[in-house]
Amino acid sequence: MKWLRARGIEFVEIPIRETPPSDAELSAALNERAGDLRSLFNTSGLDYRGMGLKDALPGISPQDALALLAANGNLVKRPFAVLPNGKTLVGFKEDQWVATLG
């Protein structure tokens, strides 16, 4: 948010823990990442570790993994930005944010 504010980019902040991304938003993010489920998960989070997802994730179907994310915002990698054009930015990599948002 600090990065967005510094550049004068307007956004709507949604508390991800209380309001996780929708199935459609998560599916779009997964498609943009060529099916890389791990890239959507907060792999350093306590919930991820507590659920043993490091070992379990390779055996979970994409639908079940997206359902986990949609049900538990703590599992979602942050920041998770949905742009007006439907594209998503997941995690903060400044070069990607600059390339996408200017």
Give the pLDDT of the chain (102 residues) as one tens digit per residue.
999 999 999 999 999 999 999 999 999 999 999 999 999 999 999 999 999 999 999 999 999 999 999 999 999 999 999 999 999 999 999 999 999 998
**CATH superfamily of the domain spanning 17-101:** Glutaredoxin (3.40.30.10)
Alpha helices, DSSP H, located in 33-91: 46-50, 53-56, 62-71
What is the C-alpha separation between 80 and 97, in angstroms, rounded?
12
3-class secondary structure, 88: strand
Q: Look up tokens 């510094």; give the residue.
A: 6
What residue spans define the domains of the chain?
17-101
Q: Is 53 left (phi over 0), alpha (psi -120 to 50) or beta?
A: alpha
CA angle (70, 72, 78) in 5-degree steps: 85
